[in-house]
Structure 1
Amino acid sequence: MLDIIIESRKAQIVPGFEVKRILPYQLRRMVGPFIFMDHGGPVSIPTPTSTNLDVLPHPHIGLSTVSYLFSGNVTHRDSLGVEQVIRPGEVNWMTAGKGIAHSERFEDPAMLAGGELEMIQTWVALPEKDEESEPSFKNYTPDQLPIFTDTGIWMRLIAGNAYGLTNEVSTSSPMFYVHVVLNQGARFGLPQGHSERGAYIVRGSVEISGITYSAGKLMVFNNGVDPVIIAKENTILMMLGGEHLGERYIWWNFVSSRKERIEQAKEDWKQGRIILPPTDNEEYVPLPKDNSRPAGGPPPGALS
């Protein structure tokens, strides 16, 4: 029934800010098109350290970054000149395509006063035909993300299609991404019509076939199964998956179906050919040394 259980690991984004790293995992690199997943927080940020937690401008290719907040807010700036504050319940969807740089900074007075931050960031790999597309950015507000409720169940469709829901979020391949809140005792199932499906436990715990799974675990299910998920307590899940796109290489913030494209991206960043955000171009994250782990996701200084 379960293909694999992935236990989140600690990863340091910047000094003083640890996240739970879920994907990629050595034994399971992707779930559908999702190739990266971090869970940051909940954390209360002390005033003296707030600005030190800023994620400086850094590059991406070959993917879309998807930011979703439970609490707090973050200011996004990118090479296109976009400046967007993302708030809880919204989606920031940035498609890197052939190359983009962006930053994420904590500038809200409430955050600087020690407010709480909790967020999920994922990367969605692009189909080969879209890997060299023009970069783009879109913020989607809560009214664009449909909500479904039933006894003990609340859920919001972030992207794709699931449980009969669709929305305006533009995706490049068949997928689903859903925020689910379950009351204790609620029973829930997986969406149909997707070959790869997973459920990450943000908070709480669930029971499947008599076994209890706790927060911080990503449950990846075998194709064709239809288990009953029972909330053992009040629980938050992030459901995600879709159709597999084929193998991808991942090094630092770069994703591609071709090794040589990763090498080109490294050189492009070193030579300044990926433009910095015009309103945030005084500093940036340098390319890591070549001996950094190629499949470990961002090193310190790059959250997404």
Structure 2
Amino acid sequence: MITQTITPVTHDLGAFTVRRVLPSKARTMVGPFIFVDEFGPADLTGDGMNVRPHPHINLATVTWLFDGAIDHRDSLRTFATIRPGQVNLMTAGRGIVHSERSPQGELATNPGMFGMQTWLALPDGREEIDPAFEAVKDLPVVEDSGAQARVIMGELWGTRAPTTTYAQTIYADIVLEAGGAIPLDSEADERAVMLVDGSAAVDGVALERYQLAVLAPGTAMRLSSESGGRVMLLGGEAFATKRHVFWNFVSSDRERINQAKDDWRAGRFPLVPGDEEEFIPLPDKPKTVSYP
């Protein structure tokens, strides 16, 4: 049973569209997921995607692409080009700075841009861990009745992804053929699905594209598609402690967010090697995430 549907807030960035379902007025989190953006599909032209250096604390960002490529740089001296089939997990912990830009050498071929960016709140006692980065390509695939599910994080259908998790987390990319179906695991405290392409239904109830459909906990359900579709499944353990969000900062402690704001204004965060010239200023008004 679908217990709640969340319609995204849409941001038109010119080159591509971003649709945000979390956080929303209706709901802040599903498991550890506190921020869920879907972007594209789009064909990038001109300068492409250029998200200037910006900071994070007390969270982990998860980038997953269906199409396109993004050059990731961070203050740990990481450089990685994100491509479909590879999950990038950046753990902010006590603080990290990163930038996300289209590979300049590929802009002439008019690359696509289509994917998901999510944030995971770090659990109590682990919010201030050391920052880290990992890119994982060898993700397990589960196949069943015309459905192929790639497990991005956590354990689903008896298969565990090698990606690091800090709280109990489930995250999967499910591609359904026409007439395909797959059971939705019911182990997680909280879980939700998002249709990102084609059509699909949960126990016969049609999903609306880009809406987040929150599922009843502990209930066995079946995801199916008559004509083919693509669905993201996400969730995990429910957090007992409230998380606060301001811009790119997440924390259980408001004062920790205020400290991060002061540190960014004062230039106390580290620079991003290879991308030191620009940065996104702290916004005057509280909002979640910045885009150039």
Q: TM-score range by the shorter chain?
A: over 0.9
- State the shift of 1:166 in Å: 0.6
Please give the alpha-carbon distance, in whole angstroms, between the structure 2 residues aligned to 1:228 and 1:21.
25
Paired residues of 1:73 and 1:108 also in contact (CA < 8 A): no
The equivalent residue for 1:254 is: 249
Q: Which of the numbers 270, 273, 283 marks the counterpart of 1:275?
A: 270
d(CA) in 1 for partners of 2:189, 2:244: 21
List 4+ stretches of structure 1 deviating above 4 A.
none
Aligned to 1:5: 5
Q: What's the counterpart of residue 140 of structure 1?
A: 136
Asked whether 1:91 is paired with 2:91, we answer no
Q: Percent identity?
A: 39
1:288 corresponds to which residue?
283
> Which range moves more in the overlay, 30-39 or 231-240?
231-240
Contact 1:204 1:232 (8 Å CA) reproduced? no
Q: What corresponds to 2:43 in structure 1?
A: 44
- C-alpha displacement at 1:205, in angstroms? 1.9
| Cα distance, 1:15 vs structure 2 | 5.0
**Match of 1:218, as an amino acid?**
L
Residues 171 and 234, structure 2, Cα contact 8 Å, conserved in 1: yes
For residues 267 and 106 of structure 1, the distance between their equivalents in structure 2, rounded to whole angstroms, comes to 30
Deviation sequence 1:211-255 (CA, Å, 0-9, x none):
322211111011122222221321101101000123100110000
Kept in 2, the 8 Å contact 1:163–1:192? The answer is: no
1:103 aligns with 2:112: no
CA contact (8 A) 2:22 2:34 kept: yes
CA distance in 1, matches of 2:291, 2:70: 18
Instruction: Could you tell me which runs of 5 or more consecutive residues in structure 2 were left unpaired when the two chains were aligned.
Output: none
Q: What secondary structure does 1:215 align onto?
A: coil
Aligned to 1:298: 289
Q: How does 1:187-202 map to 2 (within 5 A)?
A: 187-202=181-196
Determine if contact 2:31/2:169 at 8 Å carries over to the other structure: yes
Once residues 39 and 125 of structure 2 are traced to their aligned partners in structure 1, the CA distance between those partners, rounded to angstroms, is 32
2:72 equivalent to 1:72: no
Q: Deviations over 1:180-209 (max 9, x none)?
A: 001122222221321101111111222334
If the length of structure 1 is used for normalisation, what is the TM-score?
A: 0.92
Letter aligned with residue 283 of structure 2: P
C-alpha separation between the residues in 2 aligned to 1:9 and 1:232?
A: 28
Tell me the CA shift for residue 100 of structure 1: 0.4
SS in 1 for 2:65: strand
Classify the secondary structure of the residue corresponding to 1:28. coil
Equivalent position SS for 2:269? coil
Work out which of the residue numbers 153, 162, 172 in structure 2 matches 1:168.
162
Aligned to 2:124: 128
**Contact persistence 2:201–2:207 (CA under 8 A):** yes
| Corresponding residue pairs, total | 291
Partner Cα distance (2:100, 2:276) in 1: 13
Match of 2:226 in 1: 232
Aligned to 2:199: 205
Structure 1 residue 112 displacement after superposition: 3.7
Please give the per-residue CA displacement for 1:13-66, whole angstroms capped at 9, x wherever unaligned.
x554321112111111110000001111110012x242xx30000000010000
Q: Which structure 1 residue ranges, 5 or more long, are not aligned?
A: none
Q: Which residue of 2 aligns with 1:26?
A: 25
The separation in 2 between residues aligned to 1:26 and 1:206, in whole angstroms, is 26
Q: Cα distance, 1:110 vs. partner?
A: 3.0
Distance 1:3 1:251, change over 3 A: same
Aligned to 2:145: 151
Q: How far apart, in 2, do the equivalents of 1:250 and 1:243 lie?
A: 19
CA RMSD of the aligned region, Å? 1.5
- Identify which range, 150-159 or 181-190, moves more after superposition: 181-190
**What secondary structure does 2:54 align onto?**
strand
